[in-house]
Structure 1
């Protein structure tokens, strides 16, 4: 029996884990996602909020959910409309702003606006932005040199690092920053262009 035939019933399962897995499936239908967007259980609503097939009107509806975890997953969803991300960027919940800062489809202009309103102590928001490939290069330079390890680690994972930034991060005093850099898939093509002194 094909999975797509029984996925809708599993999505309504009383067991949260079963329901969440079914909702996360690539074969779940938009109609089922729409139905579950009003479920009383937050786990189901969170799974709907992060699903790439969730209809736009459902994402708009979930963007005003009372639970911050639901709103945060709408903010993370790459299919969320920019107008919704604009509204969510003003959300008081840090998790929601972290979701926007890390969203790969956020516009550079919105990311800049969000960062201009972000407090120096909102490390999770800053770290999410540092790893985002939509971050303007002048801001990435600042994050590469930031005094906080978590932010430098995120910057080290950014696929748009320039050779000078890679050289700086190769010499970082923190092993976790260097490890994050070595795990950056973009590094492998750039490593041959790095300074020999930086590698020794």
Structure 2
């Protein structure tokens, strides 16, 4: 019975099962993830521990992890987690504050690299363990060690020459890296390390210039991500052969309107898409993007919060019905542009016009007589409609239109009577309520 109640939809019932001393160990293990405190408070738990010394070893990993997450988890839970076969449990333990030095030392020698990596991220490591982890066989552990603020200088210089690229790249991220270490890293040819260095501004000007002119696009792009860059770099990047470099340029906050407009005409869609991340584009750039060859890009422009009049005009004649449909529901379109979309050759666009936030009376009447039934049906989703339009639509040849009229609130009695005698059974049912 308790096993069945452990899957009860009411969380309060499941919590009571977790507290029940007669609940089997297997069920407690399943409930521990959701109700860790209740499981630890179960009065039958001490007897279960005596009967099954390795109790938590049979619990699912997520349950033991939840028990460990309790700040006041007892020592026996911590010890059991240390011996749990799932490395995820031991990794969670390695991140737990307040562990004894003996437990930390044991975890630093764990077979799972994820566990040792978590140890390397602890703020309270003694120097012997730091040295051990800095020489770990797994590069992820050494990566974590490389970012520690308390790393002794000799270990830092050892990691500068680490055989793995990502370890050296992490060293290159350190804010306090001595200049000789920076220059040593710059002599290597690995693009990831050089790209990390290229983002820094605390290098000699000649080194920064060398990195900015690297043969690797990744490094040239990274150089443009530095907080400040010389004007000459911006001009050079504008004509760079690689679109990723020009995209990096397009993200810089210090570009002039003229540069932004030229980038909006870039031959690469990657560059144009990058520009759409900005909210400071000049009107000329927006117009260029509104005329881009990629339909999805133009659709993004049509969805923008504010558009200049020239861009709206360009999008009105866009070849994509999706673009024109999105345009139709813009609140800033104006009656003249909306009228053009309400007469569009595509029923989907006219349907969009029927959903416009503000619909002038003449357009409303025009759409109520639209040849496409879907447009007329859409018009009936509007809360406010003139009484004469509703009467006309109540006699519409399309039963779907009449159905929507029948479902409207506040219909006059004579109109309800008319719809109650409708030839379509669904309409009659709808008006009857």
Give the structure 1 partner of residue 149 of structure 2: 53
Q: 1:173/1:90 Cα in 2 relative to 1: closer, same or farther (>3 Å)?
A: same
Q: Which secondary structure does the structure 2 equivalent of 1:4 belong to?
A: coil
| Greater radius of gyration (CA) | 2
Contact residue 30 and residue 53 of structure 1 kept, 8 A: no
Give the structure 1 partner of residue 140 of structure 2: 43
Q: 1:43/1:170 Cα in 2 relative to 1: closer, same or farther (>3 Å)?
A: same
**Residues of 2 paired with 1:56 and 1:135: CA distance?**
32
Contact residue 247 and residue 270 of structure 2 kept, 8 A: yes
Query: What is the number of residues matched between the two proteins?
Result: 187
Contact residue 211 and residue 223 of structure 2 kept, 8 A: no
Contact residue 140 and residue 155 of structure 1 kept, 8 A: yes
Question: How far 1:42 moved relative to its partner?
Answer: 1.8
Question: How far 1:167 moved relative to its partner?
Answer: 2.9
| Correspondence 1:23 to 2:120 | yes
Give the structure 2 partner of residue 199 of structure 1: 286
1:41-190 alignment runs, 5 A limit: 41-49=138-146, 51=147, 53-55=149-151, 57=153, 58-102=155-199, 104-107=200-203, 109=205, 110-116=207-213, 118-119=214-215, 122-183=216-277, 187-188=278-279
Question: How far 1:83 moved relative to its partner?
Answer: 2.4
What is the TM-score with the length of structure 2 in the denominator?
Answer: 0.38
Question: How far 1:85 moved relative to its partner?
Answer: 1.0
Contact residue 100 and residue 106 of structure 1 kept, 8 A: no
RMSD: 3.0
Q: Which secondary structure does the structure 2 equivalent of 1:43 belong to?
A: helix
Note the residue ranges of structure 2 that are not aligned, 5 or more in a row: 1-70, 72-94, 288-433
Q: Deviations over 1:157-195 (max 9, x none)?
A: 334434433333333333322333343xxx44xx1xx43
Question: How far 1:52 moved relative to its partner?
Answer: 5.4
Note the residue ranges of structure 1 that are not aligned, 5 or more in a row: none
Give the structure 2 partner of residue 3 of structure 1: 96
Q: 1:125/1:28 Cα in 2 relative to 1: closer, same or farther (>3 Å)?
A: farther
**Residues of 1 paired with 2:242 and 2:180: CA distance?**
32
Question: How far 1:76 moved relative to its partner?
Answer: 3.1
Q: Which has the higher contact order (CA 8 A, sep 6+)?
A: 1
Q: 1:175/1:45 Cα in 2 relative to 1: closer, same or farther (>3 Å)?
A: same
**Residues of 2 paired with 1:34 and 1:162: CA distance?**
50
Question: How far 1:33 moved relative to its partner?
Answer: 4.3
Q: 1:84/1:56 Cα in 2 relative to 1: closer, same or farther (>3 Å)?
A: farther
What is the TM-score with the length of structure 1 in the denominator?
Answer: 0.74
**Residues of 2 paired with 1:108 and 1:164: CA distance?**
31
Q: Deviations over 1:4-48 (max 9, x none)?
A: 3249565654322343345346x4658454542122222211222
Q: 1:108/1:178 Cα in 2 relative to 1: closer, same or farther (>3 Å)?
A: farther
